[in-house]
Structure 1
Amino acid sequence: MTTSETGTRHIGIHIDRSADEVYAYASDPSHLPEWAAGLSSSVEEGSDGRWTADSPMGRVVVDFAPRNDFGVLDHHVTLPTGETVHNPVRVIADGTGCEVVFTLRRRPGMSAEEFRRDADAVSADLTTLKRLTERT
């Protein structure tokens, strides 16, 4: 995990599965409650292709990048306050496995402790993703 002076952390984890397999699983929004507790405990697809999730922050709307061949899992989360947060996520091939990297940005007004808690939640979510996708 690295931190820049601007309040950005790149949180990554190595997963012993191919990038294609991990991307296929993680890019399916219906799987979010299984591995991304920091974002959702339940999720449902709306008629407009947007997903609504019950999160620790309340009900949020999640818009995902279209499926692609580049391992881009970016998504926008619109919080109950109306604020939208862009979350860059990449699945990067690494030999027979892959690295999943989540870029966490500190939002204006966010305390250092809140930012640390967000980073811990992202790290826990990536650990869960690793556990689920490495199952044989």
Structure 2
Amino acid sequence: MTTSDTESRHLSIHVERPAREVYDYASDPSHLPEWAAGLGRSIEETDGRWIADSPMGRVVVDFAPRNDYGVLDHHVTLPSGETVYNPVRVIADDTGCEVVFTLRRRPDVSAEEFRRDEAAVSADLATLKRIAERD
């Protein structure tokens, strides 16, 4: 698989909370273990970097700087040293918002693994929705 034929899925969920509230919560790396189980069960800031204990081992998570556009893009550096770019947006929609995660299939990922990744991201988005809407 080459870069030109990389497969992507745009996974989204509608959240009945203002976009700014959802963005403020989701952009705080300390909240990741609460809603992004696929990324890790714990996270800590060490020397200005966020390190998560993920199912793949310890990973470094670098978020885009806070912004007014709802951009939650982040890079995840895997134990192998490979860095995976994850585009994420929180988009205002009347009184609620839509959270969109673009899942890209890496060349070394099988179709079955990609389906599992898709299911994990969808579950994480559903958890984010549940947390955001419970208050």
TM-score, normalised via structure 1 length: 0.94
> Which residue of the partner structure matches residue 78 of structure 2?
79
Corresponding pairs, count: 131
> Which residue of the partner structure matches residue 59 of structure 2?
60
Provide the identity percentage: 79
Task: Give unpaired runs (5+ residues) of structure 2.
Answer: none
Amino acid in the other structure paired with 1:96: T
CA distance in 1, matches of 2:85, 2:6: 15
- Post-superposition, which runs of at least 4 consecutive aligned residues in structure 1 deviate over 2 A? none
Partners of 2:6 and 2:107 within 8 A in 1 = no
Aligned-partner SS, 1:71: coil
Task: Give the aligned CA root-mean-square deviation in angstroms.
Answer: 0.8
**What do the CA deviations read for 1:65-84 (whole angstroms, capped 9, x no partner)?**
00000000000000011100
Task: Give unpaired runs (5+ residues) of structure 1.
Answer: none
> Which residue of the partner structure matches residue 112 of structure 1?
111
Amino acid in the other structure paired with 1:91: V
The alpha-carbon deviation at position 6 of structure 1 amounts to 3.1
The alpha-carbon deviation at position 40 of structure 1 amounts to 1.1
Partners of 2:41 and 2:52 within 8 A in 1 = yes
**What do the CA deviations read for 1:32-61 (whole angstroms, capped 9, x no partner)?**
0000001010000111x2100000111100
CA distance in 2, matches of 1:28, 1:61: 15
> Which residue of the partner structure matches residue 125 of structure 2?
126
